Chains A and B, each alone.
Chain A
């Protein structure tokens, strides 16, 4: 089954404790992206990747890191989480951002709470 898999689904952590949210897709998609969703602010892009070893900042990259060593994986790293990073996170992938025959597929989301 074609899917984007995020883990974990829920995570509660403390300020400053490094964490990684994993994202994996099995559709051979080149484009992958991370978004955070907060009430009233919609889906804001954190980082995106056009292909292996090609990543770029989105609109809200501060406090986050990503890597794209393999096509299928695009982990999101919070080196020193802070309470303002409490949010719902979505990973997504597609062949390209503007191909009508390849819509953006979202993972199930990761709800992160930083205390």
Chain B
């Protein structure tokens, strides 16, 4: 079925280095790609998103890139800091053709650890 795959499942980087998390999606109709951050014991919260009519979006130290042809999008965090340690989820809307509905489907998450 239609799904969203996320890699890697765990990632450790030295403080100050960059981190990259990649997701692939299967539904070519998907047009909105959010990223959520979940700190320990808390709810997931949106940190950045991108629509399919742009290839890149930046917000300070985080950026998201989208390759619609290859059906993948990536989260980039530069100059990582200890507070970036969390679980990150990508997501994409999947159209359910028989009902005309769509649902937001999440990747399996990446546990990012920043090493001081």
Q: Number of A interface residues, CB 8 Å?
A: 26
Q: Which of B11-19, B69-77, B78-86, B103-111 contacts A (4 or more CB under 8 A)?
A: B103-111
Decide if B9 is an interface residue (CB 8 Å cutoff): yes
Q: A79 contacts which chain B residues (CB < 8 A)?
A: none
| Chain B proximity of A23: nearest CB distance (Å) | 13
Contact A100 B44 (CB under 8 A): no
B residues 43-90 near A (Cβ < 8 Å) are: 43-46, 49, 51, 89
Q: A40 contacts which chain B residues (CB < 8 A)?
A: 9, 108
> Number of residue pairs across A and B with beta carbons under 8 Å?
65
| Chain B proximity of A59: nearest CB distance (Å) | 8
A residues 2-56 near B (Cβ < 8 Å) are: 33, 35, 40-45, 48, 50, 54, 56
**Could you say which of B30, B99, B103, B109 contacts A45, with CB atoms under 8 Å apart?**
B103
| Chain B proximity of A100: nearest CB distance (Å) | 5
| Chain A proximity of B101: nearest CB distance (Å) | 5
Contact B109 A42 (CB under 8 A): yes
Contact A42 B89 (CB under 8 A): yes
Q: A90 contacts which chain B residues (CB < 8 A)?
A: 43-44
Chain A residues at the B interface, C-beta cutoff of 8 Å: 33, 35, 40-45, 48, 50, 54, 56, 58-59, 90, 94, 97-100, 103-104, 106-109
Chain B residues at the A interface, C-beta cutoff of 8 Å: 6, 9, 30-32, 34, 36, 43-46, 49, 51, 89, 91, 93, 96, 99, 101-109
| Nearest 9 pairs of A and B residues by beta carbon | A42-B108, A103-B46, A98-B32, A106-B43, A98-B93, A97-B104, A43-B106, A97-B93, A42-B109
Q: What are 18 of the A-B contact pairs (CB < 8 Å)?
A: A35-B106, A40-B108, A42-B89, A42-B108, A42-B109, A43-B44, A43-B109, A44-B106, A54-B101, A59-B105, A97-B103, A98-B93, A98-B102, A99-B32, A100-B49, A103-B34, A104-B34, A106-B44
